[in-house]
Structures are given as structure tokens and as C-alpha cells.
Amino acid sequence: MTKLDFKPEEIQAVPKLRSKRIAKSATPKYTLDWYLKWISSIIVLCAMSIRGVEGLQFYDLTLSVIGIFGWLLVSIMWRDRALIILNSFGLLFLVRNLIETLAG
């Protein structure tokens, strides 16, 4: 992983940036993929927070499907094959479980 350097005017604008320990984020902010990444992450965390609660399995699976689908879109935007494979199979497993839950 490479460090991204701050521009001189950025360093002068914020005194804390003079530290050599601060690294700039490699991900651009406020783009479509940035919003989708954070919204999908929050949805997945909501699903995880109700996982294992009796009677909420449908909501867990539904939120998980939505969040992982969002992450699949992000991974496609980033052209990251490892994330595409992970989220594709994760989505497949979750949809299968959701269908079994609805059928049962």
C-alpha cells in the first residue's frame, strides 16, 4: 500500500497534518461508490445487529441481501475481482436462505 502525500497548501491549512504518521485516504470522497459503500456497510451492520434474535431472521436476511448487493455494485465499480467473487457468492447464499425462509 502506498502513502498518498498531502499538497503543501493542505499541510499549511491544517497544523495537525504536519505529522508524518497521518496517511491520506486512497478512496475518493463523496462519489457514488463512496455513498454506496457507506450505506451498504450500515445496512450490513444493521442486519448483523439483529442476527440470532428469534423471529427476526427474515429481516436479517433481507437487510443482508440489500447490503451485500450494494457491496457487489461497489466491487463492480472498483473492478475488484476478489470483492466481486466474495459478494457474488455471499449474495447467492443469502438469497437461497431467504427463499428457504419464505418457503418454510
- Range of weakest confidence among 4-8, 40-44, 56-60, 97-101: 4-8
Contact by Cβ (8 Å): 87, 68:
yes
Tell me the three cell numbers of residue 83.
Answer: 470483492
Can you list the alpha helix ranges (DSSP code H) found in 3-80? 8-13, 32-50, 57-78
pTM for the predicted model, two decimal places? 0.76
Instruction: With respect to residue 72, please indicate whether it lies within any of the assigned structural domains.
Output: yes
Structural domains counted in the chain: 1
The predicted pLDDT at position 26 comes to: 75
Print the domain residue range for 40.
25-103
Instruction: With respect to residue 5, please indicate whether it lies within any of the assigned structural domains.
Output: no
Which uninterrupted H or E stretch holds 91? Answer: helix 81-103
- Range of weakest confidence among 23-27, 41-45, 51-55: 23-27
pLDDT beyond 60 at 91: yes
pLDDT beyond 70 at 88: yes
- Mean pLDDT over 5-32 rounds to 72
Band the pLDDT of 39: cuts 50, 70, 90.
very high
pLDDT beyond 70 at 18: no
The predicted pLDDT at position 28 comes to: 84
Instruction: With respect to residue 40, please indicate whether it lies within any of the assigned structural domains.
Output: yes
